[in-house]
Amino acid sequence: MSMLLQRCDTALANIGVTDGLWTERDRGYLRSCADCDSTNLPTMIVLSVGLGVTVACSSPTVAPVPRVAGLRLDDAHNALKGAGFKEFNDVDAVGKRSALVDSNWAVVSQIPASGESVDVKMRIELNVAKPEDKGIRDRLPKDSPVLAQILEKDRQRNLQTAFDAADQTT
């Protein structure tokens, strides 16, 4: 018997429901419910309905917000979705533009802050900018992968400029 079924049997026993009332139909419903978050067993809600028992589950409604500041917007959305969040408000931190292609934008800050536990139905605000926007280097976290890409492009551009200048003098 799975841990989930054992927990349900225990919960039913605690409210006085014996195995005789716990039918295979109820067990089948619970098995189909086991698709809830498998890393964090779902919360079981046991309700007595007439002579039978109905069992339902739900995933946790509160989760810590992952750190997405410094990521590309598409990666940030994926990380938030992976943590159970579905609602995002992408706000241009520089002007009044709309983020049409998520991979062209970087998250410079987020509300609520990373690590804060909030209801997964809460809308997460992501302040975004394009990597080429003026001042973005100062707004991104120092360990940001987007900042690392920007600095690498700067380094390559400076090397090419130096190479071109040296080539013209010879």
Indicate the domain borders of the chain.
3-58, 63-144
Look at residue 106 and tell me whether its pLDDT is greater than 80: yes
Report residue 82 as tokens: 């992976």
Using an 8 Å Cβ cutoff, are 90 and 81 in contact?
A: no
Rounded to whole angstroms, the Cα distance separating 10 from 6 reads: 6
Taking only the tens place, the pLDDT of each residue in 125-142 is: 999 999 999 999 999 999
pLDDT at 20 over 80: no
Output the CATH code of domain 63-144: 3.30.10.20
Report the percentage of the chain scoring pLDDT > 90: 58
Is pLDDT larger for residue 169 or for residue 113? 113
Tokens found for residue 33: 């419910």
Q: What does pTM read for this prediction?
A: 0.62
Q: Given pLDDT bands bounded at 50, 70 and 90, which one contains residue 168?
A: confident
CA–CA distance, 124 with 113 (Å, rounded to integer): 9
d(CA 111, CA 8): 37
